[in-house]
Amino acid sequence: MRRAKYIKAWNDTLAQMSDKERKASAHPYDRDRGVEKNTQSIEDLQDLIGHVTQIVSRGRDAFLADTQDGWMARGAARNALHQYATIITEHLPRWWREANSVDVEGIRAIRNRMHNYPEIDDGEVFDELNR
């Protein structure tokens, strides 16, 4: 996943903005969350990237295999995509998403597709995680 750029962008942005600037530019919901909770969301994203790296490191064939390991990898991958989408679209502040040109609607669409299990294309899930 190329999501590590979001973590670097978060740290760079925090370093450049004062607490007063962050609060002034934030949506009311974001102001209430506070920097600590937003930082926790970034740490959660870092952990998630570590899990995803383990999932895709086994390769596409192992991921798509009709075995117990393949089934478990696909379930973990679907969960990871859902968690990623939730962190990016709901837990990180609007000012940060705007500063990093995050495609919120595209990410929400991915999360919504994860709810419709029969229609999930596991090849697309692997490709998305492997970006």
Going residue by residue through the chain (131 aa), what tens digit of pLDDT does each one get?
455 666 666 666 666 666 665 555 555 445 445 566 777 777 888 888 888 889 899 999 999 999 999 999 998 888 888 888 888 888 877 777 887 777 888 888 877 777 776 778 888 888 888 87
- Residue 73: the pLDDT is 92
Q: Provide the domain count of the chain.
A: 1
Residue 93: domain span:
4-130
Q: By three-state DSSP, how is residue 114 classified?
A: coil
- Residue 106: the pLDDT is 81
- Residue 1: the pLDDT is 46
112: nearest Cα among 72, 91, 130, 85: 85
DSSP notation for 57-109: HT-HHHHH-SSHHHHHHHHHHHHHHHHHHHIIIIIS-HHHHHHTT--HHHHHH
* C-alpha span between 76 and 53 (Å, rounded): 12
